[in-house]
Amino acid sequence: MNAPNPNIRPVLRQLDETVINRIAAGEVVERPASAVKELVENALDAGARRIEVVIADGGRSLIRVSDDGCGIAAGDLPLALARHATSKIDGSDLLNIRSFGFRGEALASLAAVGRLTLASRVAGETGAAIAVSGGQAGPVRPAALNGGTVVELRDLFFATPARLKFLRSDRAEGQAVADVVRRLAMAEPFVVITLRDATGGEDRLLFRVEAETGDLFGALTGRLAAVMGRDFAENAVPLDAQRDGFHLTGLAGLPACARGAAVAQYLFVNGRPVRDKLLIGALRAGYTDLLPRDRHPAAALFLDCDPQLVDVNVHPAKAEVRFRDPGPVRGLIVSALRHALAAEGHRAATTISDRTLGAFRPATLPPGRSWQMDRPSHSALRGAYAAQAPHPVPGFAETAAPSARTFAGDEEADPDLAHLPLGAARAQIHGTYILAQTESGLVIVDQHAAHERLVYERLKAQADATGIAAQALLIPEVIDLPEADCAQLLSLAPALARLGLGIEPFGPGAIAVRETPAVLGPVDAAALVRDILDELSDAGDSDSLMQRRDAVLSRIACHGSVRAGRQMRAEEMNALLREMEATPRSGQCNHGRPTYVTLQLADIERLFGRR
């Protein structure tokens, strides 16, 4: 940067109105998606029930937004293009904002950097239009229009060519426009919204949602299914909670449907789409214990409150908000998510079942062949099975036992277990997976993942109640560690003692483990300590240990769970299933993986061509 010349006095001047508008446009209109957002929000504020958006070349060459709203009178068209001219507020109370727009900058900014035509018609009057190019407005002229408003913006940023260099490809800009339209469509379920691409003279439909019917919550659920997909709606839990003047609604995806990136998180405050750090952090906190660090939940959360409790005038694009008291907001979101997900802890995601069935699906059967059967009675089946049973092969039972253990007699011994959510254990496969039969199908359980969650929940309950009971080791286990790791662990010794882990120094570069959590039974103390060190390293600093207590307990629980490969008796497997049914969040292990998969009998029959 060149240093100013002290011998030359800078001249103070008033900037030209056109330059002012272009500077303002740099804040309001960042890319074509920003222009679409402003125009669609204006249409919604006008009471539109049908909105159509047309773009070309990702929005660079054309953006046209048509609506059937209340319209703008012919005499008000020039004023509508002036900066800070708005019908949304009167300026007396900037905290009582109940509309999308309120600054009166959007049309003026767009007109300053592109070629804009504004046509509108108020009911009972004739239509009129006005054109503006690079901030220079023409006269108002008559226009043929059925009603509502049409805003056409061509050659965006032609007046500020430097901004064009910062735009991405047409495809990327078009995707950003589609994302904006989807977010606004989610906020307004009773409005028909269409997005078309007219690039190259074509007319390609990119997105369309019809108006939903019914009550607000039902309409909202239907709109979310239309925008985010049926899979999301079928694998999400509804939210409806209130606290301290805030009302939270929406859908939260089951942990099994988490994504690799935060691309399916939609947050709204009083119907306004926002990207707020407080809300994103609360959403993430609500899935604590259910997702690994590299997975992100899918959710659409709608937070409504008195406008006086939130300031939306803190960001040029109105994408962020500031709450007068953020504590209750975060608490409401976190508690609502945790309670809703805990209540649905035994609900398997259909997407996992679909993937499982896909892995099992055989080659396509020849057309015209079908083995549809009426199911015989239970007694008839027993007789048929006895008649069809193969002759016993000497030595087969002994050689087959290590890989698969079946318990055929248990069905009669426990006739009432099949009606329970996770059914009755029927076999153990490869010492790792439990097969359970339900009234409507089959459940496959990962025994280690399931038991890990159960142990974890027991540890948390003990820690909350009385602290975790410890068992003294007959011979303390000495662990050699780097001196820095030893110092870190010993500085946290009192906190670790409350978690059932008793440690003390044992000379330079070593610690002695004298107690381990009793609930774990025999445990590899060295591996446990090193896992806790890894967790502390992830936590960032030692002061965060108690805040990350549950994460440390999760590491501890992994060391006390049934390992893959351990043979289990029928009563042990059924006891595991019953405890899973009684434990919140048992559908996922501590790392966010599913603990079981449900297969419906009808789907299994289709695999074999019975349906």
- Residue 336 half-sphere exposure toward CB, CA atoms < 13 A: 27
The answer to whether position 191 is within a domain reads: yes
Boundary of a domain, candidates 209, 236, 261? 209
* Residue 14, pLDDT above cutoff 70: no
Q: Are residues 131 and 223 in the same domain?
A: no
Residue 290's CB: how many other CB atoms inside 10 A?
25
Residue 482's CB: how many other CB atoms inside 10 A?
10
Report the C-alpha gap between 320 and 323 in whole angstroms. 10
* Residue 198, pLDDT above cutoff 80: yes
CATH number of domain containing 356: 3.30.1370.100
The answer to whether position 366 is within a domain reads: no
Residue with tokens 């248990």: 410
Number of domains in the chain: 3
Q: Are residues 564 and 492 in the same domain?
A: yes
* Residue 335, pLDDT above cutoff 80: yes
* Residue 149, pLDDT above cutoff 90: yes
Q: Which tokens hold the place of 80?
A: 């509508």
Report the C-alpha gap between 446 and 451 in whole angstroms. 9
Q: Categorize the per-residue pLDDT at 19 as very low, low, confident or very high, splitting at 50, 70 and 90.
A: low
Q: Taking the complete model, does pTM exceed 0.85, yes or no?
A: no
Q: Are residues 417 and 511 in the same domain?
A: yes
Q: Are residues 185 and 80 in the same domain?
A: yes
> What is the enclosing helix (H) or strand (E) of 425?
strand 424-429
Q: Are residues 195 and 280 in the same domain?
A: no
Q: Are residues 30 and 61 in the same domain?
A: yes
The answer to whether position 105 is within a domain reads: yes
Dump pLDDT digits (tens) for 593-607: 788 888 888 888 877
Q: Are residues 306 and 185 in the same domain?
A: no
Task: Please check whether residue 59 is in contact with residue 121, taking contact to mean a CB–CB distance below 8 angstroms.
Answer: no
CATH number of domain containing 139: 3.30.565.10
Boundary of a domain, candidates 184, 209, 234? 209
User: Which range (57-71, 94-108, 243-257, 475-489) has the least confidence?
Assistant: 94-108
Boundary of a domain, candidates 191, 209, 227? 209
Q: Are residues 173 and 302 in the same domain?
A: no
User: Which range (121-130, 156-165, 181-190, 443-452) has the least confidence?
Assistant: 156-165
Secondary structure (DSSP) of 80-117: HTSTT--SS--SS-TT---SS--SS-HHHHHHHHSEEE
Q: Are residues 181 and 226 in the same domain?
A: no
Q: Are residues 196 and 237 in the same domain?
A: no
The answer to whether position 130 is within a domain reads: yes
pLDDT of residue 386: 47
The answer to whether position 5 is within a domain reads: no
Q: Are residues 426 and 572 in the same domain?
A: yes
The answer to whether position 182 is within a domain reads: yes
Range of the domain at 247: 216-344
10 Å CB burial of residue 601 (0-12, 13-18, 19+) is middle
The answer to whether position 482 is within a domain reads: yes
Highest mean pLDDT among 19-23, 105-109, 348-352, 545-549: 105-109
pLDDT of residue 345: 59
pLDDT of residue 528: 85
Dump pLDDT digits (tens) for 224-258: 999 998 888 888 999 999 999 999 999 999 887 88
The answer to whether position 2 is within a domain reads: no
Q: Are residues 429 and 494 in the same domain?
A: yes
The string over 236-269, giving b where at least 16 C-beta atoms fall within 10 Å of a residue's C-beta and e elsewhere, is bbebeeeeeebebbbbbbbbbbbeeebebbbbbb
Beta bridge partners of 248: 241, 303
